[in-house]
Amino acid sequence: MKTLLIALALLAGIHQVAVQAQNLYVSEPNNGNIISISPGGSQSTFASGLTYPAGLACNSAGDVFDADDFAIYGFTPGGVQSNFVASGLQPIGLAFDRAGNLFESDFSGNIFKFTTNGVKSTFASGLNIPRGLAFDSAGNLFEADGGTGNIYEFTTNGVQSTFSSAGLPGIICLAFDSADNLFVSGNSSYIYKFTTNGVQSTYASGLSQPYALAFGTATGQISGAPTLNIAYANNQAIISWPSSATGWTLQTNSNLATGTWANYGGIVGDDGMIRLRGCIGSARAFTKSADSTDALSSFWAHWDRASSR
């Protein structure tokens, strides 16, 4: 399962976030920086001196791509910058498909596709201020249309349909969870959730312009971590792990600290997370008394080093 990461727009002028190898990359257009935040929360400047870094995306090799002012820049995991597209664009959002092609939403009303070699083609046109882009697990592309507040879906062949005509105000960013539920944020105080059938609900409210969304993966944040097995039955999320887990910390999401779950047998940290320290080969069952579908879809767990907490 995955955890939802939210960047509030009023904090340091944050515009976009991206996740790669469990580092969180945050663009700050007001000061021209891209910030890297490690899984442990350590913050550093990944890139600086940019004109207006906006949309970010990471490819499978760990490279970070930035939609900047009229250009797209690429950065190696070590921060070495290169020009992926030097000029001629008005980029807003970026997203990679599973083949490594980069898709860019452009203020001109187009979505452009770039192959891994940088060959450009027009994937879609006639849109009204296209912004956030996201792919579902089937490879369909979804677009947040800023001018209309609608969400459009494109098949892998570019066939367009309307996923939502709700006219959401200030729609900016899209993100899918592992169950293909779509989450939407923008210039409002809400984050909306859409099921695969397009049923809309309010996922969170009372926020301060939550521009950017990204989901982090549930397991394997640290190389060499013991395997976690998560099963679901009878309103329970059952986690098991091998004896090689000694010295690791099992970390689960803050839903477990709300009182709606029981039997976690761990401690709650200052950040609201549950942690089981110094684990040995064992299992834990996390029980939800009601509304199990939503609860289980939002549950996640992963390893962290016990010594780092």
Residue 116 has pLDDT above 70, yes or no: yes
Contact (CB, 8 A) for 69 and 52: yes
The pLDDT value recorded for residue 233 is 59
- Out of 2.120.10.30, 2.40.440.10, 3.30.70.1350, 1.10.260.40, select the CATH number for domain 3-216: 2.120.10.30
> pLDDT by residue (tens digit) across 156-193?
999 999 999 999 988 888 888 777 889 888 777 788 88
Q: Is the dihedral of CA 134, 156, 146, 29 positive or negative?
A: positive
The rounded distance, in Å, linking the Cα atoms of 307 and 181 is 35
Q: Cα(148)–Cα(131) distance, rounded to whole angstroms?
A: 11
Band (pLDDT 50/70/90 cuts) for residue 302 is low
Q: Where in the chain is the domain with CATH 2.120.10.30?
A: 3-216
Report pLDDT digits (tens) over 132-144: 999 988 899 999 9
Distance between start and end Cα atoms, the chain:
22
Lowest mean pLDDT among 197-201, 205-209, 246-250: 246-250
Collapsing DSSP to helix, strand or coil, 4 comes out as strand
CB-side exposure of 23: number of CA atoms within 13 Å? Answer: 23
Distance of alpha carbon 1 from the chain centroid: 12
What is the pLDDT, as a whole number, of residue 236?
Answer: 59
Per-residue confidence (pLDDT) for residue 263, from 0 to 100 = 44
Q: What is the mean pLDDT of residues 49-64?
A: 87
Q: What is the pLDDT of residues 262-279, one digit of tens each?
A: 444 444 444 444 455 444
**The dihedral sign for the CA sequence 130, 210, 184, 118:** positive
Provide CB contacts within 8 A for 157, sequence distance 6+: none
Whole-angstrom CA distances from 278 to 110, 208, 236, 281, 283 are 52, 38, 23, 10, 13
The mean of the pLDDT values for the chain is 74
Q: Which of 297, 231, 303, 288 is nearest to 3 (CA)?
A: 297
DSSP, collapsed to helix, strand or coil, labels residue 142 as strand
